[in-house]
Each structure stands twice: as structure tokens, then as C-alpha cells.
Structure 1
Amino acid sequence: MKCSDCGIEVGIFSHVGGRCRDCNLINLGAEMGNPDALARQAAASDSLEARENAVLQVLVTTETATSDLVIEERLGIISAEVVIGMHIFKDVLVGIRNTVGGRSKTYQDDLRNMREQVIGELQAEALKTGANAVIAVSLDYQEIGSKAQSMLMVLASGTAVKLAARSEQT
């Protein structure tokens, strides 16, 4: 299925009302009258690249405060989650690697991809609140389920904030 706004391919569980998660968040903010979201919606409607850039412009850091960033407003705690199922063949291959020793490139790649996805979702969530940064970010990794049905989850949480524009920070 394709997102009705940006046209990217989305999975059956990755859309709401025919839109991808990012488009849905931007449209929700615009419908609520958020001026930042209205501006992002206008910019995003021009191209998918503009939409991706808006999300990527949100600063994400594990720092709680830095001397070079001036926080204008704290908007609250936000979070994002990514969960993937580990299919039987992957589990078998990891089991073999576990028996003979060594690193599991399969799981490492999955965890790296999940981390990138959850940070992207955290950035989209920040845009929804009108924030331009997320500070004090924490990443947590969990295994969910039993041996027969294992899943991996990455949870990202932090404080959504509005930072002063660079010219205002000097």
C-alpha cells in the first residue's frame, strides 16, 4: 500500500487512514492548528524530500543540557517504539552462531536498523509536539516473548524541547 500523501510504500500495519506515520503526524498537528505543523505540512506537500528533511532537522541528543543550546520551552516526555519478530530461520542461524561462538551480524544489523528507525520515529513525534529537539534521550532494548516466538523491541524516550534559533543563542 502507498501513502496517499507522499506516495512511499507502507506496510499493512504501518499506516493510518491511508497515510504513513510521518504524514499522519504532520497532518494531525496541522489539523490541531499547530503553526509549525501547518508550515511543515505546506513544505512537505511539495516533496517527500522536504518531509524527510523536516524530520531529520530535529536534534536528538543524550545530553541533558549544553552551553551552546538555549532551551526556550520544555514540552514534555515523548517516546517511540520499534518491535520486530525474529523468524525461525534467523533464530536457527543465531543458535548455531551462539554454539560455535562469534558475533551475530544478523542481530547486530537488526539492532542497528531498529535504533535508526526508533530515533526517526522519536524525531517525528517531536515534530508532532512542535519541538525542534529531543534531549536526555535514552534507548532501551528488550526481548519480548518466549523462545518459540521471540521479538526484539527498542524503546527511545526523551524530553521534547523548543530550542532558541541559533542567532538568538549568541
Structure 2
Amino acid sequence: MIIVTTENIFGKEIRELKGFVRGSTVQTKHIGKDILAGLKTIVGGEINEYTEMMDEARQKAIGRMVEDAQGKGANAIIGMRLQTSSVMQNAAEIIAYGTAVVVD
């Protein structure tokens, strides 16, 4: 699956638009990671536990978007975007979306 953030794929011709595709996940904080993150706020620096959690969430959302595109018969996604929002205290949604297409 080719995934790009642009409207075109260099060197490829878009043959067919399959439509909007998306994938999402909602991640919550883990109590153990919360304790470590709380300690990190005292000394400063990157909170690796949350960085890893959000990376996993992005990968899940992108994977679900790809499944949606494959289900529509696409072999590429153009205009891909990621968005994050807080859905409740200590929980965040990651959504990946774009336009599914068939390219040569």
C-alpha cells in the first residue's frame, strides 16, 4: 500500500478514486506509566512512555485505515493526515484518514 500526504504520487497515474478511508483508536494512560511520567515532570525531559504509547496508537490507526482502503479495492492512499483529540480525561483518539485510490 502506497501512502502519501500529497494529492498525487510521483510517477504513478491515479486510475480510480475509491473514496474516503479512515482508521482510529482510543488510547488511555497506564497507571504504571502515569507514575513514571509524573516523576519525569519533576526532573524534565521527554516522557518516553507516552511517546511510545502514541506511536503505537498512530500505527494502529494507520493500519486500520489501510484495511479500510484494501476493503474498497485500493492500492494507495493520497492526502493522508493524522489527527489527535482528547475524548475524556486520560484518553486520546488518534485518527488517520485520506483518499483511497487505484494507481498504475
TM-score by length of 1: 0.57
CA RMSD of aligned residues (A): 1.3
Q: Which residue of 1 aligns with 2:102?
A: 162
CA contact (8 A) 2:9 2:78 kept: no
Q: Which residue of 1 aligns with 2:9?
A: 66
In structure 2, runs of 5+ residues without a counterpart are none
Higher helix share: 1
Percent identity over paired residues: 29
Q: Which has the higher contact order (CA 8 A, sep 6+)?
A: 2
From the CA coordinates, give the structure whose radius of gyration is larger. 1
Q: Deviations over 1:17-60 (max 9, x none)?
A: xxxxxxxxxxxxxxxxxxxxxxxxxxxxxxxxxxxxxxxxx111
Q: Deviations over 1:116-146 (max 9, x none)?
A: 1211111111011111111100001222212
In structure 1, runs of 5+ residues without a counterpart are 1-57, 165-170
Q: Look up the SS of the partner of 1:68 in the other structure.
A: coil
Q: Report the Cα offset of residue 157 of structure 1.
A: 0.4
In 2, Cα distance between equivalents of 1:74 and 1:134: 10
Aligned pairs, how many? 104
Q: Look up the SS of the partner of 1:65 in the other structure.
A: coil
Q: Look up the SS of the partner of 1:138 in the other structure.
A: strand
In 2, Cα distance between equivalents of 1:153 and 1:101: 25
The letter of the residue matching 1:67 is F
- In the TM superposition, 1:7-22 aligns within 5 A as none
Q: Which residue of 2 aligns with 1:144?
A: 87
Q: Does 1:85 align with 2:25?
A: no
Higher strand share: 2
- In the TM superposition, 1:117-156 aligns within 5 A as 117-146=60-89, 150-156=90-96
Q: Which residue of 2 aligns with 1:76?
A: 19
- In the TM superposition, 1:31-110 aligns within 5 A as 58-110=1-53
In 1, Cα distance between equivalents of 2:32 and 2:9: 46
The runs of at least 4 consecutive aligned structure 1 residues that moved more than 4 Å come to none
The letter of the residue matching 2:12 is L
CA contact (8 A) 2:86 2:93 kept: yes
